Copies of this chain bind each other. A is one copy, B any other.
Amino acid sequence: MKQNIILIGGGGHCHSVIDVIEQENKYNIIGIVDKKELIGTKVLGYEIIACDDNLEELFKSCQNACITIGQIKTNEVRVKLFDKLKAIGFNLPTIISPLAYVSKHASVDEGTVVMHQALINANASIGKNCIINTKALIEHDCKVKDNCHISTASVLNGGVVVEGNTFFGSNATSKESVNIYGFIKAGSVSK
């Protein structure tokens, strides 16, 4: 039977995550948490049912949560939310699109979402609260630490280490075995 889940954040990234959760078919989205003034409106058919102030209350009826706020300029909001949700007691499951491929020799930690057609290859490990975005490629032996956003169609080649809180831009590429941290521009090559 499907478990219930609530989504935190009703913007554009949320649209993509809804698509992944629907395709994964493991969780039943019971509503979205966003700003107070948006309560009652809908996002792809799912209602905004609460705001951040109601999280403790929500926890009584639903123990699974997924952070669906995007991460471009900063991941501060995502990190604070992750800590707050954990403190309340929420379970933040790993969400993996059935269109993605995660090697059985790889690992993905809690609160991380692996979007459609992303690929995590053998012996790679992904930390907590990351976004591995659509079509991103994490090659063999990479280590992506906590709270990173590996953006759409970007390429981390073999053996790369991505430090925590990194933004690796859309369609960016890294050389093999390098260290990545901070804010990496879309389309750039990290050497």
Chain A residues within CB distance 8 Å of chain B: 12-13, 15-16, 18-19, 22, 44, 70, 72, 99, 101, 103-105, 116-117, 119, 121-123, 134-135, 137, 139-141, 151-153, 155, 157-159, 170-171, 173, 175-176, 185-189
Contact = CB atoms under 8 A, between A and B. Distances in A.
A103 to B, nearest CB: 5
Contacts of A99: 101
A44 B139 contact: no
Q: Is the interface of A mostly helix, strand, loop or mixed?
A: loop
Most chain B C-beta atoms within 10 Å of own C-beta, residue among A119, A170, A189: A170
Contacts of A122: 15-16, 18-19, 44
A44 to B, nearest CB: 6
B123 A134 contact: no
